[in-house]
Amino acid sequence: MRGSTSPCPYASMRGVLELRQRLSERDEAIVRQVAELRLMSARQIQAIHFPDAERGSRAAATRARQRVLTRLIRERVLIGLERRIGGVRAGSAGLVLGLGPLGQRVLALDGPRRRAYEPTARFVDHTLAAAQLVVDVTLAVRAGRLELLEHQAEPRCWREFSGLGGRRLVRPDGFLVIGAGEYELRWFVEIDRSTESLPTIANKCQLYADYYQSGAEQAASGGVFPRVVWSVPDEKRAEQLRRVIARSNTLPERLFVVTNSDRTLDALLSLTKQ
């Protein structure tokens, strides 16, 4: 990661406190969201935190985003990955950012300090796809297309339950509660990037079915079990997952929705109108 070895004037506790006091509300919102989602692209950060309408134009929003992110990287609150989305031509909008060494201290996060490392391309691709759904939902909320009542990123969205062999863990990529009139629609989100084998997908679907049968989620949420939306790269992959689910004798088809990544939000919206 870039910026991980430069001298830092905020290493002392006093320096960290001074830095935190200097952060604007938007600075802190950006840092908290990057920490929650683990990675975000500069373009995703701009979409949420530097809307065009607020700045008057896309160009003005881009300049404001560049100034703020450059400063946060320089102060090691955020850190930029060496890898850019789509290569060098992607420019600053393709920059991928994570929480910097001082970002964790500024937020006073619990747990061990995160080590600076360059994640794999597979991890980056998957994490940014999950972040993009959060961006799409956020913009839909602002446009009045839906009401977001709750969002949980990893690992808060993970669920543990008792099953055969002891304690078992369901690890979705996200959890959403969407308001639809008088109803609350609950979703577990699974981001699939065609990197897992179909048997692995089938096993994960079975884990959700087992969790459903355990009744643990229903006991904690007023009798409601979330549906599982699989967001996949293309229609070919979507059909593969649908066949895996349909051919199983133990998977309740109603529990799962499979959709292309560019149609995930539309799928959630269309289902709120049922």
Q: Do 146 and 266 reside in the same domain of the chain?
A: yes
What are residue 170's phi and psi, to 5 degrees? -100, 130
The pLDDT of residue 105: 84
Rg (CA), the chain: 20
Domain final residue pick, 118, 151, 178:
118
In a domain, 3, yes or no: no
In a domain, 2, yes or no: no
In a domain, 149, yes or no: yes
Domain final residue pick, 93, 118, 143:
118
Q: Do 28 and 98 reside in the same domain of the chain?
A: yes
Q: Do 149 and 90 reside in the same domain of the chain?
A: no
The pLDDT of residue 19: 83
Residue 41 is part of a domain; what is its CATH number? Answer: 1.10.10
**Phi/psi class of residue 164: alpha, beta or left (left: φ > 0; alpha: ψ in -120 to 50)?**
beta
Q: Do 113 and 132 reside in the same domain of the chain?
A: no
**How many domains in the chain?**
2
In a domain, 7, yes or no: no
In a domain, 8, yes or no: no
In a domain, 253, yes or no: yes
Q: Do 42 and 156 reside in the same domain of the chain?
A: no
Domain final residue pick, 58, 93, 118:
118
The pLDDT of residue 226: 96
Whether the per-residue pLDDT at 84 is higher than 70: the answer is no
Q: Do 139 and 225 reside in the same domain of the chain?
A: yes
Whether the Cβ atoms of residue 226 and residue 187 lie closer than 8 Å to each other: yes
Q: Do 215 and 89 reside in the same domain of the chain?
A: no
Q: Do 137 and 261 reside in the same domain of the chain?
A: yes
Query: Which of 14-28, 73-87, 118-132, 186-200 is predicted with the least confidence, judged by mean pLDDT?
Result: 73-87
Whole-number Å distance between alpha carbons of 197 and 210:
20
How many residues are given for the chain?
A: 274
Range of the domain at 21: 13-118
Whether the per-residue pLDDT at 3 is higher than 50: the answer is no
| Other beta carbons less than 10 A from residue 264's beta carbon | 23
Mean pLDDT value across residues 196-205: 97
Q: How many CA atoms lie within 13 A of 106 on its CB side?
A: 26
The pLDDT of residue 235: 96
Mean pLDDT value across residues 4-23: 68
* Tens-place pLDDT, residues 91-137: 566 799 999 988 988 887 544 555 556 788 999 999 999 999 999 99
Q: Do 132 and 266 reside in the same domain of the chain?
A: yes
The pLDDT of residue 5: 42
